[in-house]
Amino acid sequence: MFVAEARVLGLALLGSVFASQTAWAAEVSAPTPEGMLSHFESWIALAIVVFAFGAAWLLNHQAPKLRATGTLLAALGCFGVVWWFVGILGSGVLDNPKPFQAPMDALKPGILWTQAIVALLGGITLLGVANRQRKGTEVLELSGANEVDRYGRVSRVMHWATAMLFILMIPMGVFSSMIPENVWYRTEYNIVHKTIGFIVLGLFASRLLWNRKSKRPGLDPSLKPIEKRLAHGAHVALYVLMFAVPFTGYVMTSLHGYPSFFFFIELQPFLPESEAYIVWGLFHKYILQYLIYLILGAHVLGALKHHYIDKHQSAFKRMVS
Ligand code: HEM
Ligand code: HEM
């Protein structure tokens, strides 16, 4: 009895946090304009996935010129995000979004601006790196399996493909949640978001399987004990996020009674419709999103600090080719 009451009270409290409980996971939108390529959103999702895997493969190639091409592609990916952001500025959605559901939703335009500026700075930095790499002659001798003190090619390709897709999903998710219900491309955005989310889930599973087959290297010996603890904690947390973020998105969507998509394949909800979607939405849209900023920020800044401030080249080069 008490548990049931507590659940109702909890849901009521959560509901009151959000100004409206309208379709979080809504798929309702105007039909796609005539003349568009059939399932064009699935082609876009496929292009993004192929791009990420292609760039990740080139980034870890034996030949220096091809590694430079991988870095150039990563830079172009960053500029692609900036170009997309300029496009969405022109769409008017940032000024007239779907009604906000929680007070912190007012932060969304600012979050997108920040992410676009980070993408611009990242793209410019990567262009400089590609230019330097172009002049290099070092052949990267790397086996497929992990070694005692550095990651092998398979782990590196999976890490960088995941990194690109995961990072891209953040602004894409924020923007998708701002698109008003009646705008035709709302469903299309959701299809791309959900498809790439499932690919990240697949990458997470593949990485776990690969780690069983090929032992991960221990942490870099140049790290101080506290840095080792922080780095290890961040790695564990990132593995948890790679699973928890897409999983909560899938459960939230299913509990709300909407389908999910893997490219053009429509996956019907796997759970009965329930108000509990609010709790899962709270995790997918708010708690985990802010945890991503915290943990991923620490992971990336930590890696850059080892390289540029501590000058521990070996730590960075264990994953970066
Ligand atoms: C630009 C962004 C990123 C940079 C510069 C970066 C850099 C690195 C580096 C240098 C390592 C090796 C650390 C060591 O051996 O001590 C590493 C490992 C790792 N990274 Fe990233 N990373 C980035 C993005 C991401 C993202 C987006 C995720 C996941 C969501 C992620 C998950 C991981 C995990 C789980 C490990 C540990 C791998 C293992 O031991 O299996 N990284 N990263
Ligand atoms: C790597 C995986 C994923 C990441 C990083 C991610 C991230 C995000 C983020 C940051 C948002 C914006 C939340 C907000 O500001 O309101 C969002 C929204 C959303 N996500 Fe995901 N997501 C992932 C996977 C998935 C999956 C697999 C599904 C469903 C199958 C999903 C369904 C949704 C939906 C429906 C919304 C929009 C909710 C709305 O209209 O308000 N996500 N996601």
User: With 60 as the cut, is the pLDDT of residue 234 above it?
Assistant: yes
Secondary structure, 3-state, the chain = CHHHHHHHHHHHHHHHHCCCCCCCCCCCCCCCCCCCCCCHHHHHHHHHHHHHHHHHHHHCCCCHHHHHHHHHHHHHHHHHHHHHHHHHHHHCCCCCCCCCCCHHHHHHHHHHHHHHHHHHHHHHHHHHHHHHHHCCCCCCCCCCCCCCCCCCHHHHHHHHHHHHHHHHHHHHHHHHCCCCCCCCHHHHHHHHHHHHHHHHHHHHHHHHHHHHHCCCCCCCCCCCHHHHHHHHHHHHHHHHHHHHHHHHHHHHHHHCCCCEEECCEEECCCCCCCCCHHHHHHHHHHHHHHHHHHHHHHHHHHHHHHHHHCCCHHHHHCCCC
- Sorting pLDDT into bands at 50, 70 and 90, what band is 314? confident
Q: For a substitution probing ligand 2, which of 284, 288, 295 has the most ligand atoms within 8 Å of its CB?
A: 284
Range ranked top by mean pLDDT from 6-15, 94-103, 274-283: 274-283
User: How many whole angstroms separate alpha carbon 150 and alpha carbon 153?
Assistant: 10
Report the nearest-CA residue for atom 19 of ligand 2: 173
Residue 29 confidence (pLDDT): 58
Strand partners, 266: 261
Confidence category of residue 80, pLDDT binned at 50, 70, 90: very high
- Sequence length of the chain is 321
More confident residue, 208 or 310: 208
Cα 54 to Cα 92, 170, 261: the distances in Å are: 33, 21, 23
**What confidence tens digit (pLDDT) does each residue in 26-68 have?**
445 566 777 777 889 999 999 999 999 999 999 999 999 999 9
Measured in Å, residue 172 CA sits from the centre of ligand 2 at: 8
Q: Quote the Cα angle for 182-188-194, to 5°.
A: 120
Q: Please give the distance, rounded to the nearest whole angstrom, from the Cα atom of residue 320 to the centre of ligand 1.
A: 9
Residue nearest to atom 13 of ligand 2 (CA): 285
Residues with CB under 6 A from ligand 1: 159, 162-163, 166-167, 211, 216, 219-220, 231, 235, 238-239, 241-242, 296, 299-300, 303, 315-316, 318-320
Q: Lowest mean pLDDT of 4-8, 122-126, 158-162, 227-231, name the range.
A: 4-8
Residue whose Cα lies nearest atom 37 of ligand 2: it is: 177
Ligand 2 contact via 190 beta carbon (within 6 Å):
yes
Domain ranges of the chain: 37-317
pLDDT tops 60 at residue 7:
no
Is residue 143 within 8 Å of 152, Cβ to Cβ?
Answer: yes
Report pLDDT for 316. Answer: 79
Ligand 1: distance of its center to the CA of 159 in Å?
6
Output the pLDDT for position 321: 81
When pLDDT is cut at 50, 70 and 90, the band that residue 313 belongs to is confident
The yes-or-no verdict on residue 230 having pLDDT over 60 is yes
Least distant ligand from the CA of 176: 2
Q: Residue for token digits 């009674």?
A: 257
How do residues 130-176 score in pLDDT, each as one tens digit? 999 999 888 888 999 999 989 999 999 999 999 999 999 999 999 99
Q: Specify the pairing of strand 265-267 against strand 260-262.
A: antiparallel
CA 172 – CA 192 distance, rounded (Å): 9
Q: Are 20 and 99 in contact (CB under 8 A)?
A: yes
Query: Of the ligands numbered here, which is closest to the C-alpha atom of 171?
Result: 2
Q: pLDDT tens digits for 182-223?
A: 898 999 999 999 999 999 999 999 999 999 999 999 888 888
Ligand 2 center–CA 197 separation, angstroms: 8
Q: Which atom of ligand 1 is nearest to the CA of 235?
A: 35
Ligand nearest to the backbone CA of 151: 1
Q: How far away, in angstroms, is 88 Cα from ligand 2 center?
A: 18
What is the Cα–Cα distance from 244 to 206, expressed in whole angstroms?
15
Instruction: Give me the chain's average pLDDT, please.
Output: 89
